[in-house]
Structure formats: structure tokens, C-alpha cells
Amino acid sequence: MQAVIVTGTSGNLGKAVAQKFFQEKYYVFGTVRKSDAFAIAKGGVIWEDVIVDLTDETAAGTFMKTTLRKNKNIHAAVLTVGGFAMGSINKTTPADIQKMFQFNFFTAFNIAQPIWQHMMKSGKGRLYLIGALPGDDTLKSKDMVAYGLSKSLLFQLANILNAANENKDVITKVIVPNIINTPENKKAMPDADTSKWTNPEAIADIIYTDSINAIDDGKRKIYV
């Protein structure tokens, strides 16, 4: 049975992605930070969430080793864990940057590195990182400096992994949302026009469809 790794399955996007692959009969390995881990078993398909601190290299490594012992047939990995913070260049401290790097870069890198290595050995796989417009366009990060810097590293990481894939069918892409339609974003922006926001389920559908498309379209960024 093909499997997928989805980090941050207690979040809005992670849950939607995990649910999509689960519905498509994939074995889902998820991660959560809080003590709300659970396992779903239905019709021979399993969705299993594990509590793991992905900022901890050792904990992330243990999760990956355990996961690969259970199922080496990892079709895709979708790394949704992250955090957000406002802050202009005048108000941003090194501690602010370090915190965002931990939340947005290391939580991805600590899983991306071992799963990419595994995919390279098997010769195929799809890896999805969750970027952001402030990480893709510096003009959009002037009021969220630490956040923008941390997200920009994910684009660079994707470039590096793709440059090192030795022409194997192992592709890393960055999902670049505009604004995701979540309760948290609605609460933070009560007067915003939500008609142009993207639902987590729509992003999940895009990721799933892209992952099963055997033709490489050459695109490494997916704007949603």
C-alpha cells in the first residue's frame, strides 16, 4: 500500500491534506505537537498521527526511522508545520528570526532531508513544502521580516533538492498560498473579503492531483 507523510495534521491545511490522501486509500503517517494524536483504521487503510517535536532533529529522525520501518513505499511527503509573526526590520530581533527559522525551516528540513534521501534510493517521490508570498517576494515581507526570511529558505531548499536529484523522478515543489480560508485568519482579518481566499480542501486536492501526475511539468512552485 502506498503511503504519505503529512506533518501538522492537527492544523487546518495538514488535516485537509491527510484527509484527502486517506480518502484516496493511502496509508497516512501524520505528526502533531499536542496530545491529540489518534489513529484511524477503516477498510484496511490506516491514518496514524504521532506526537513529535519537529524542531528537534533527534525526535524527527526517530519518527522517520519508525515510519520507514512500517512502510517504505512513501509516495509523497507534505510538510505543513509552520508559524507566523509580524514585525518590521526596526522591531525584529535575532530571537524573533531564530524562532521563525525553527518553526518554518527546521520543522521542514528535519523531515525533508531523510525522506528525500529515501526517495532518492527508491528512485521516485514527491515532496511538498509550504511556502508563502512574503518568502517569494521580498516586497511583501517588509512588515513580517522574520517570517519572510524563514519562508524564503524553503524555496532555496527546494532548489537545492531539485538540483541534486540526479535526474531521478524525485521532485520537490513549494506550495505558495495567498491567504488560506481558516477560522484563525477570519478572526485576525474580520473585515477582509474572503471570496478570494483559498480553502484548505482545495489546496489538498491540488497537492494530491499533482502528486499522482506522472508527467513532470517543470514547475517547482504552485501558487494557490
Domain count, the chain: 1
pLDDT of residue 189: 77
Tens digit of pLDDT for each residue in 134-190? 999 989 999 999 999 999 999 999 999 999 999 999 999 999 998 889 888 888 778
Find the radius of gyration of the CA atoms of the chain: 17
CA angle 141, 203, 133 (to 5 degrees): 10
Contact 167, 148 (CB under 8 A): no
Instruction: Supply the CATH number for residue 7's domain.
Output: 3.40.50.720
Task: Give the integer Cα–Cα distance in Å for 79 and 63.
Answer: 14
Pairing of strands 27-32, 124-130: unpaired
- What is the average per-residue pLDDT within 65-73? 96
- The model's confidence at residue 35, banded by pLDDT at 50, 70 and 90, is low
Rounded to the nearest 10°, the torsion over CA 125, 154, 209, 182 is 140
Residue 205 structural domain: 3-223
Tens digit of pLDDT for each residue in 80-116? 999 989 999 999 999 999 999 999 999 999 999 999 9
